[in-house]
Structure 1
Amino acid sequence: MASLPCKLIAQIAFKPGGDVFHYIVANKPQHLTKATPGFIQACDLHQGNYGTNGSVIQWKYTVDGKAQTARQVLQDIDKEKKQIAYKMLEGDLTELYKNMLITIHVETKGGADFVTWTIDYELLNAENPHPISLLNFFIQFTTNLEAHFFGP
């Protein structure tokens, strides 16, 4: 049985500015371990350069108190649109989902900057849960990153 493509989207206001968020996530993701250690414990470059299409990054992160890993390739980096996509290659999430693509887009609306997280995926098994906890992780991560830069 073929699985259906699924999509989850969350949008969060980001006070320190969309340029800051995009620059850090695209070009300096290794700094996220210092800014949000409760969420991301490691960000290791395995191929290429940070901020470059085709580069491969290995993450160690914690979702719902559980340590996880993900190996992703960077693609669709667009500095003008402030967008970046991570295609899942290996890791805990590949045990539940196939063809997972995580896209981060920053835009300004009415003078405020917003970070939009989009998870495109297919369930490997119909009984597998949708990645709601991963989407919540991204929301909490963005909020904590904002607090790191902007203060409480």
Structure 2
Amino acid sequence: MGKLVAQTEIKSDGDVFHEILRYRPHHITNMSPSIIQGVSIHEGEWGTVGSIMFWNYTHDGKEKVAKQTIQAVDEEKKSVTFKVIEGDLMKLYKSFIITAHVDTKGKSNLVTWTLDYEKLNDRVEDPNTLMDSILAVTKDIEAHHLK
């Protein structure tokens, strides 16, 4: 089992950031089109635990896909947990869980991303470049809302 954690401060509204991740991830395609090309709902409703989404994204210069379900939501802590259930990441990992948590304190908002994963074997690298992409998307969302 592995775990990567990264934090980044955003100047845009933390509540809006949480709402986008939970209810409107399909809008990220307009905010970060070089990384996220598409997000569609396959089952359930946007923002509900158990709903299934399909992502088209670019990682390390290659087009990739991921199917994930919302595993947990904590409105009080402003966190959303996604479990990847199909797609390119499942070729490398037995399990892959992505959690986004937003701390809002006045004008300062801190976004914490946690990647929990289990590699298929020892030759699989830690998902550092994926975390870099996630942080880049975070900054793209911030920039979009600061316009």
Asked whether the two chains share a fold, i.e. TM above 0.5, the reply is: yes
- Name 1:44's counterpart in structure 2: 40
Query: 2:118 aligned with 1:122, yes or no?
Result: yes
2:55–2:67: 8 Å Cα contact kept in structure 1?
Answer: yes
Q: Is the 8 A contact 2:5 2:114 kept in 1?
A: yes
RMSD of the TM alignment (CA)? 1.1
Which runs of structure 1 show a deviation greater than 4 angstroms over 4 or more consecutive aligned residues? none
8 Å Cα contact 2:103/2:110 also seen in 1: yes
Counterpart Cα distance in 1 of 2:55 and 2:79: 19
Q: Matched residues in 2 for 1:28 and 1:110: separation? A: 24
Q: Paired residues, what number?
A: 147
TM-score after normalising by structure 1: 0.93
Q: Of 40, 58, 61, which residue of structure 1 is paired with 2:57?
A: 61
Q: 1:148, CA displacement in angstroms?
A: 1.1
Q: Hey, what's the Cα distance between the residues in 2 that align with 1:12 and 1:134?
A: 15
Match of 1:103 among 99, 104, 111: 99
Show the 5 A alignment for 1:77-116.
77-109=73-105, 111-116=107-112
Query: What is residue 28 of structure 1 aligned with on the other side?
Result: 24
TM-score of the aligned structures, taking structure 2 as reference length: 0.96
**Percent of pairs with identical residues:** 45
Q: Which amino acid aligns with 1:100?
A: F
Gap regions ≥5 residues in structure 2:
none
Letter matched to residue 134 of structure 2: F
Q: Point out where structure 1 has 5 or more consecutive residues left out of the alignment.
A: none
Letter in 1 for 2:34: G
